[in-house]
């Protein structure tokens, strides 16, 4: 459960380099399918894919363990019962990661800008920002969720929210802002210093140059790795179940326990797959488009 949170954003931070693999592959595939100029290669691809999956499917379904697996994970009746309930609760996950994403965008930008402040005067702020990102990238997400989600309401202090979801959202925001801040910072640093010089030479202050010249270009460049991190955040909204809050995963657990069946978990997995895969494709497409543009020759 907590392998995901660690593994996901780490790859996303290096998203630019890592992203080149899939994007290059996508381009490759396109040229192999379309580039031939005739439809024959398309048919070969379709046929071989169909044959492969039919054979694989038959092998699985005819294996001796299949009936047990089917009953435990792919029970049609349980699915029909569980799916609407889980889907309804998934609205809570959407609210959790929706709010967290907005907060992450703002907080991460703040941290990234803090980290890029120059000069000795701002050393404390830079240090603070660095400590923050180190800390929250180093601690397992589920631990932060547990600490804040169980801990803060238990304090019973006046003015401190008692709702565990609120603290779960805060926890997810803190963790993912640390990753997204690094993404932003990589974006800021990828803008050539001559852009800052050009802006400053027009009499713009450092802040104005950041706001009007550096950040607009940086943000555009980091959209793909940013979306990668958001996919991770969306998946990690399931960690809130750990606090006993009835979102989709907790709901799946409840139905599963009642029916002695794991099909509800499969139903939830299906929901996640349906919302994350289009986003992953979008990321690939954005990276590929970016590369085409760069190959087309832009100016710095």
Q: Which one of 1, 44, 197, 257 is in contact with other proteins (CB under 8 A)?
A: 197
Those residues whose C-beta lies under 8 Å from the C-beta of residue 285, and which sit 6 or more positions away, are: 26
- Interface characters, 135-174, with other proteins (x: CB under 8 A): ----------------------------------------
Q: Which one of 18, 110, 130, 204 is in contact with other proteins (CB under 8 A)?
A: 204
Q: Which one of 41, 195, 276, 291 is in contact with other proteins (CB under 8 A)?
A: 195
Is 184 exposed, middle or buried (CB count within 10 Å of its CB: 0-12, 13-18, 19+)? Answer: buried
Q: Does 23 contact other proteins by CB under 8 A?
A: no
Nearest to 113 by CA among 184, 177, 192, 204: 184
Q: Are 203 and 167 in contact, with CB atoms under 8 Å apart?
A: no
Q: Are 256 and 158 in contact, with CB atoms under 8 Å apart?
A: no
Q: Which one of 36, 151, 161, 216 is in contact with other proteins (CB under 8 A)?
A: 216
CB 17 to other proteins: min, Å: 22
298/26 Cα distance (integer angstroms): 22
236/288 Cα distance (integer angstroms): 27
251/259 Cα distance (integer angstroms): 12
Give 3 or 294: the residue with its C-beta nearer to other proteins.
294
Q: Does 292 contact other proteins by CB under 8 A?
A: no
Q: Which stretch binds other proteins (CB under 8 A): 23-31, 47-55, 77-85, 210-218?
A: 210-218
Q: Are 16 and 254 in contact, with CB atoms under 8 Å apart?
A: no
Six-digit token string for 164: 């565990």
- Interface characters, 51-90, with other proteins (x: CB under 8 A): ----------------------------------------
Give 62 or 299: the residue with its C-beta nearer to other proteins.
299
Neighbours of 289 (CB within 10 A): 12
Q: Which one of 16, 126, 200, 235 is in contact with other proteins (CB under 8 A)?
A: 200
Residue ranges that bind other proteins, judged by CB under 8 A: 194-195, 197-205, 208, 212-213, 216-217, 220, 297-300
């Amino acid at each position: 459960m907590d392998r995901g949170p660690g593994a996901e954003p780490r790859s996303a931070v290096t998203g630019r380099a890592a992203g080149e693999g899939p994007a290059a592959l996508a381009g490759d595939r396109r040229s192999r399918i379309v580039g031939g100029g005739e439809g024959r290669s398309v048919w070969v691809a379709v046929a071989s894919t169909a044959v492969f999956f039919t054979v694989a499917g038959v092998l699985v379904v005819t294996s001796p363990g299949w009936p047990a697996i089917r009953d435990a994970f792919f029970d049609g009746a349980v699915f029909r019962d569980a799916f609407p309930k889980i889907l309804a609760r998934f609205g809570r996950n959407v609210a959790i990661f929706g709010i967290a994403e907005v907060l992450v965008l703002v907080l991460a930008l703040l941290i990234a800008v803090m980290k890029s402040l120059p000069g000795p005067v701002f050393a404390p702020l830079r240090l603070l920002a660095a400590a923050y990102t180190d800390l929250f990238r180093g601690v397992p997400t589920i631990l932060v969720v547990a600490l804040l989600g169980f801990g803060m309401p238990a304090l019973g202090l006046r003015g401190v929210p008692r709702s565990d979801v609120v603290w779960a959202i805060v926890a997810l925001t803190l963790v993912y802002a640390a990753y997204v801040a690094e993404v932003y910072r990589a974006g800021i640093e990828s803008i050539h210093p001559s852009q800052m010089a050009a802006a400053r030479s027009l009499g713009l202050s450092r802040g104005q140059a950041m706001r009007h010249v550096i950040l607009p270009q940086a943000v555009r460049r980091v959209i793909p790795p940013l979306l990668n991190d958001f996919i991770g955040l969306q998946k990690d909204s399931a960690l809130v179940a750990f606090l006993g809050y009835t979102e989709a995963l907790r709901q799946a657990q409840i139905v599963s326990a009642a029916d002695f069946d794991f099909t509800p978990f499969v139903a939830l997995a299906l929901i996640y797959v349906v919302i994350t895969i289009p986003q992953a494709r979008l990321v690939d497409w954005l990276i590929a488009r970016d590369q085409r543009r760069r190959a087309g020759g832009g100016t710095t």
